[in-house]
A and B are shown apart, each in its own frame.
Chain A
């Protein structure tokens, strides 16, 4: 069985817990921003590629000489 924490220990425990929670919130927030920006870049890349393909004239079809 564990003994109950003293008020000082409890305060230190809460402080560590709080610092962990803040760090986790920061990481999650950064991930949200990162995934949003990645999505924008991927969408832009795909749009550029589609535009490039639309501008490229189709290759001439091989003609049958017979």
Chain B
């Protein structure tokens, strides 16, 4: 009798368009599109609506391309985490080569279109943002250091900067402040999530802050970032780049963010079965916070322009 085992039957790779769409992380893309649009609408000057739409489309497609490359690289990690194991690659609905090619095609297409329609500065920063997320964050930082999300947060901070440049054609202090706001918002936002999914991260060996430095240190750092974020969000008002609508909104929203962060940051050691309600509340609020803050930036700009 032969001892040779029959070859496993390989299921055909029949990825649907929905699987390709899932590779682009549509939920993350929502925030990218929104902040990019706010940067574009709050910038001084005028851009033709078609070119404005193209700029936002390029930002969105580039974010989708970078996300696809991230999923291609992290397929084995995603397979080990409850939150991500149903993604197209770990679930076996797509072959890795298709995911990689899809990511490269979206990234290159977005950068080339941005260069031809908007300009080389916007396209260069768009290319940098893709490289930052797909290589610096995903490949280099994430598996190596608990500071991954701190430095990697820069990847998500580019859209308002690019949106602004699409209108003005150059970089000034205001879009850099918008970049810094998202940069400093990312650690408390992400660590709030990491606190309640840290078992997932430790299972796959990703050195997220709660896994490496412990919960106590992470909580203190969340509070620290929230303290620094509040005056930073008020800087555009103090420097005269925005009006009272933005300033008072930033103050109110920032105090709320600080209060929720203090609740998370000053919590005593918790039992293993804790529901992590304050952490989940901070995570949800942080998303709302960024949406409203950038929304108010646009409202303020439109009100100022209308009043001028």
Contact = CB atoms under 8 A, between A and B. Distances in A.
Interface string A15-50: 011011001100000000010011001100100000
B141 interface: no
Contacts of A41: 48, 50-51
Given A1-B7, A38-B117, A16 B50 contact: no
Interface in B42-75: 48, 50-51, 54, 57
Interface stretch (B8-16, B84-92, B290-298): B8-16
A34 B10 CA distance: 40
Contacts of B48: 41, 45
Interface in B81-118: 116-117
A33 B179 CA distance: 33
Given A13-B14, A20-B17, A37 B9 contact: no
Contacts of A23: 17, 20
B17 A19 contact: yes
B19 to A, nearest CB: 9
B117 A20 contact: no
Interface in B180-214: none
A60 interface: no
A52 interface: no
B117 A16 contact: no
Most buried by B among A2, A23, A38, A45: A38
A20 B16 contact: yes
A16 B12 CA distance: 11
Given A38-B50, A38-B51, A41-B50, A17 B14 contact: yes
A8 interface: no
A47 to B, nearest CB: 13
Given A1-B7, A2-B9, A37 B50 contact: yes
Nearest to A20: B17
Given A16-B15, A38-B116, 7 more contacts: A2-B12, A5-B12, A12-B14, A20-B16, A20-B17, A24-B17, A38-B51
5 nearest interchain CB pairs?
A23-B17, A16-B14, A41-B50, A38-B117, A41-B48
8 contacts: A3-B9, A13-B14, A16-B14, A17-B14, A20-B16, A23-B17, A37-B50, A41-B50
